[in-house]
Structure 1
Amino acid sequence: MLVFDETISGIDDTEARFRGYVIENYADMDAERTRPAVLILPGGGYRRTSAREAEPIARRMLGYGYQAFILDYSCAPSTYPVALLETAEAMRRIREHAAEWHIDPNAIVVCGFSAGGHAAALFAERWNGEETRAHGYDPESIRPNGLLLGYPVITSGPYAHRGSVEHLLGPRGKDDPALLDLFSLEKHVTRDVPPTFVWTTVTDETVPVQNTLLFVNALVAAGVNVEVHVFPEGRHGSALGTNETDNADRWIGDLTCVQPWPDLADAWIRGRFPAATAWK
């Protein structure tokens, strides 16, 4: 396996951490094998990036046979569009090295949790927008082929996670309704958003389930293919729903009902991308 740890320089002189876990090919198995890739954006309220939504998720994706990458994007005091552009650069590198890293360039999924879900969904809406073009990105070089979200922050409206919005926008967002509206993602879905898999829980008190429901309704209205799973129980930040991704205080508790989501996401990826099924 190839493992690397690189930096991506932000436009505000910060640095994002970009990690890769690449399953290598071998002549005595299949020297020409290609695989889907998953770029993981951890949550953390745009204040930090959470370890429970980073390497454990990458290891699970590797277990399914996917190439896995983690982007610890710049958080507060960095504000929009720093994380968006760092995501664009991570996507560019993945597609640029697709042959070297045995990736199907048409099977790259951006995956995010909580505020990382907002970052992933925001990128899925704006990969071909003014910000990325202005910084020299060819839209086709950074196009996501799928979007995978776990308990995502979506709206800046009544069900918003205010901390995420404030950290993303900084002082600009406090008294500017028009700016806040731009980051209420359910209002800006188009057919350019890739097929989407999203899951959450009814009992999430930090990022209410309405965030997911608003986004799913917008995806359906725009004609975007979507699969959604709403589990009856589970606190925010549940990640894999296992002891491994709980913290030392066991504050998440029993999350067995959310544990099927990775297998469901695996089935979704295999149903969308031939590269995921050719060698299963």
Structure 2
Amino acid sequence: MQVKLWENEIPYLNPDADTPNSMDTYFVSTGRGHPLPCIVILPGGGYGGRAPHEGGPIAEFFNSRGIHAVVVNYRVAPNRYPAPLADAQRAIKLLRANAAEWRVDPNRIVTLGFSAGGHLAASCATLDDVTADRENADEIDKQNARPNGAILGYPVIDICPELGHPGSGKNLLGEDYERQCAYFSLQNRVTDETPPVFMWHTSVDGVKVSNSLMFGEALRRHGIPFEMHVYPNGPHGLGLAQLYEDVSQWPNQAADWVLRNIK
């Protein structure tokens, strides 16, 4: 089932850019009617696209573990911040607003992102709500936009040229991204209010593993629970990583983490 993110006015609309305005729902149909956790999936693509293998297949895996999922078709370049974050936060709010009908536990909503989608998933966990106070706000805007946890796969965390992934920063913020890149390098945005995090990376990923390591260190400094797996082999963009025996354990490890820790 595809659900519209915005029924009326779309905030931060760029009339010259594509606006998907939707999320694809993967709700578990079995069970006894009790509410289930839900994963909000944000595929990667450098804020310039959304990789299909990091969307539906991931949702189907979590369904196999008895966990709901949605894949958010968030806006990408030439849309700029805060449009992608507004879409991701709207998905979280929609889940909470429709929790009873969709059988979602509103206290067990977890963002999951890969690469630049990992930056977006971590942004949901660390940055402020970008639509709560907008003009013409609706009832859904009043819902809490902060997830209860985040799963980050080979995430872009830093977008500055020295250590991070400047291509994602340029697509997110525009040509003058360096002026703002420190603020949007999310190891700098962790607070005591950041929710628990599960992260995985390979040590040879083209998006440097230092992204995850820096974020983990920031979480440690603030006393935020996190679990991190760094695997020795595998390129960027692995998704379910079915061709790498050790890395392919991450989906079950992440599902176990959700069921054990997000209560």
Query: Does TM, normalized by the shorter one, top 0.5?
Result: yes
2:173 is equivalent to residue 169 of structure 1: yes
Q: Does the 8 A contact of 1:204 with 1:236 survive in 2? A: yes
1:215–1:112 Cα change, 3 Å: same
- Which of 151, 155, 167 aligns to 2:154? It is 151
The 2-side partners of 1:72 and 1:145 are apart by 21
Provide the residue aligned with 1:4 in structure 2: 2
Provide the residue aligned with 1:131 in structure 2: 130
Q: Does the 8 A contact of 2:75 with 2:84 survive in 1? A: yes
Gaps of 5+ in 2: none
Deviations, residues 160-217 of structure 1 (Å, cap 9, x unaligned): 111101100012314x2xx111111111100121110000000102x10000000000
Provide the residue aligned with 2:28 in structure 1: 23
Q: Does the 8 A contact of 2:158 with 2:187 survive in 1? A: yes
> Secondary structure at 1:152's aligned position in 2?
coil
Deviation at 1:103, TM superposition (A): 1.1
> Secondary structure at 2:101's aligned position in 1?
coil
The 2-side partners of 1:146 and 1:64 are apart by 17
TM-score computed with the length of structure 1 as normaliser: 0.85
Deviations, residues 122-175 of structure 1 (Å, cap 9, x unaligned): 11111xx2633333433x52221111110000012322111101100012314x
Provide the residue aligned with 1:72 in structure 2: 73
Q: Give the aligned residue type for 1:170.
A: G
Q: Does the 8 A contact of 2:5 with 2:94 survive in 1? A: no
> Secondary structure at 1:99's aligned position in 2?
helix
Q: Give the aligned residue type for 2:34.
A: R
2:220 is equivalent to residue 215 of structure 1: no
CA-atom RMSD in angstroms:
1.6
Q: Does the 8 A contact of 2:89 with 2:129 survive in 1? A: no
Provide the residue aligned with 1:272 in structure 2: 261
Provide the residue aligned with 1:263 in structure 2: 252
The 2-side partners of 1:107 and 1:130 are apart by 18
TM-score computed with the length of structure 2 as normaliser: 0.90
The 2-side partners of 1:61 and 1:256 are apart by 19
Q: Give the aligned residue type for 1:4.
A: Q
The 2-side partners of 1:216 and 1:237 are apart by 20
Deviations, residues 14-61 of structure 1 (Å, cap 9, x unaligned): 333311011235xxx62x321100000000000000001000000001
